[in-house]
Structure 1
């Protein structure tokens, strides 16, 4: 008598019958499906050995049950997205949930790159500088009047130019006699200290800190008194030396 070849579970002979090996152990079809087949997410029936088992995140479907939750089209071999565990084709998902591009007003499809700023969204290819039309991508930009500008274009079109160095003023700055200055360019012509926030005396574009000028005038008055020099009368009459006090 030959060696027996039986189902590992029910012990029925497998001679002349179809069977499936699992971990090198033979099972008849019925036992295998009972023990190992997955249950379809939609119809709750077992997915037989002769059916295609479609799976996504530990969930399983018959191929005939793998449908868009909105339009009921088959999702077999098609891209899809999920919302609250419901399967949806890309078209239905984007119509229902995707943001619209602020530039072209078309849906931004799931999986594509999206640029966001202050509640608005753009396709990556639509997020361009309003002046040079080049994609901004992850570069720094400035938004003005609802338009986006890369920094070089913004500086060329809108930024004030420092009267001293002639370069654009991008942050901060000082306004003196209706002329724009970089903070670091607005310095005392004598001691080179920054004048922003300090008292200063200006003669055309020659700027002096008030404190050093006052000190120099006090020193000059002292020297003149000691030497007995009375100065030039005409000059004193037209341009009297201001009376200055220490500490002011």
Structure 2
């Protein structure tokens, strides 16, 4: 009994004496294998046959001769390249035509060159320098001031304001009071040393005080209760000569009638309504 020999798993043609390829232990003729398993070229659309090199880039496949620079048409399969707006460009063409320029020296960045970016501008690492000492800043801390960038040492030594409290440089944010600069933590109440950087405060003799200390130390005292008359929250006070009262405290000593807007008499170092004063004088 004769045998037909091996057959193509796809079209069943005899493979005797013919080239074939294996896939999952199955034999295929070249045509079937290319039809089932070879990829179409992303450039020309034709199948990348078994006798061609399949160049792959991000799940896309190309004939080796179709994978070329969009500028000079040189093959890219064995050289460095970049992808610009969906087009492949060899390193040489990229450097010549598309490489961005350093804002400081005006020279192009070669592919793979480390660059610094600041304020929307790009610099060679060596060109991003301190405007004061001229040294390269690189990845170290810096401060922008007066249109230039300054390394931390130069900024602290030559430019930064000094805190009038501790005399150390103010590196970031601070507080200005009467043209003097303070660190936030150094701007404190002259009475209780509480930090005033984010608090309401007032001043006395050019010194800052928290509201509580200012009230306790400098507010007029009510003649009756001897507590400070602050005026906070829209409060009012009654004044007579050098004396002052809370509105609620400005009452007749005898009958407790509120005296705001009324006539009153000072007797025995206290306030009386006219009626009670007359009664006292009669007696």
| TM > 0.5 | yes
Deviation of 1:166 after TM superposition, in Å, equals 0.9
Using the alignment, how far apart are the partners of 2:44 and 2:190 within structure 1?
A: 86
Deviation per residue, 1:51-86 (Å, 9 max, x gap) = 111111222222122110112122121122223422
Deviates most, 86-95 or 17-26: 86-95
Using the alignment, how far apart are the partners of 1:2 and 1:246 within structure 2?
A: 126
Deviation of 1:143 after TM superposition, in Å, equals 1.4
Whether contact under 8 Å (1:101, 1:123) holds in the other structure is: yes
Whether contact under 8 Å (2:127, 2:136) holds in the other structure is: no
- 1:180 aligned residue: 181
Deviation per residue, 1:101-123 (Å, 9 max, x gap) = 22333334566554333221234
Using the alignment, how far apart are the partners of 2:95 and 2:102 within structure 1?
A: 12
1:200 to 198, 204, 210: 204
Computed over aligned residues only, the root mean square deviation of the Cα atoms, in angstroms, reads 3.3
Whether contact under 8 Å (2:174, 2:181) holds in the other structure is: no
Deviation of 1:154 after TM superposition, in Å, equals 1.6
Superposition pairs for residues 1-150 of structure 1, below 5 Å? 1=2, 4-93=5-94, 95-109=96-110, 113-124=114-125, 126-130=127-131, 131=133, 133-137=135-139, 140-150=141-151
Whether contact under 8 Å (1:174, 1:183) holds in the other structure is: no
Aligned to 2:117, what secondary structure does the other structure show? strand
- 1:232 aligned residue: none
Aligned residues: 217
Unaligned 5+ runs, structure 1:
220-242
Distance change >3 Å, CA 208–CA 159, structure 1 → 2: closer
Distance change >3 Å, CA 3–CA 125, structure 1 → 2: farther
Using the alignment, how far apart are the partners of 2:69 and 2:149 within structure 1?
A: 38
Whether contact under 8 Å (1:9, 1:27) holds in the other structure is: yes
Using the alignment, how far apart are the partners of 1:50 and 1:126 within structure 2?
A: 51
Deviation per residue, 1:9-30 (Å, 9 max, x gap) = 2222222221111111111222
Whether contact under 8 Å (2:38, 2:48) holds in the other structure is: yes
Whether contact under 8 Å (1:80, 1:88) holds in the other structure is: yes
Whether contact under 8 Å (2:160, 2:169) holds in the other structure is: yes
Unaligned 5+ runs, structure 2:
223-241, 247-283
Using the alignment, how far apart are the partners of 1:69 and 1:245 within structure 2?
A: 90
Using the alignment, how far apart are the partners of 2:154 and 2:196 within structure 1?
A: 30
Deviation of 1:35 after TM superposition, in Å, equals 2.8
Which has the higher relative contact order, 1 or 2, with Cα contacts under 8 A spaced 6 or more apart?
1
Using the alignment, how far apart are the partners of 1:7 and 1:183 within structure 2?
A: 84
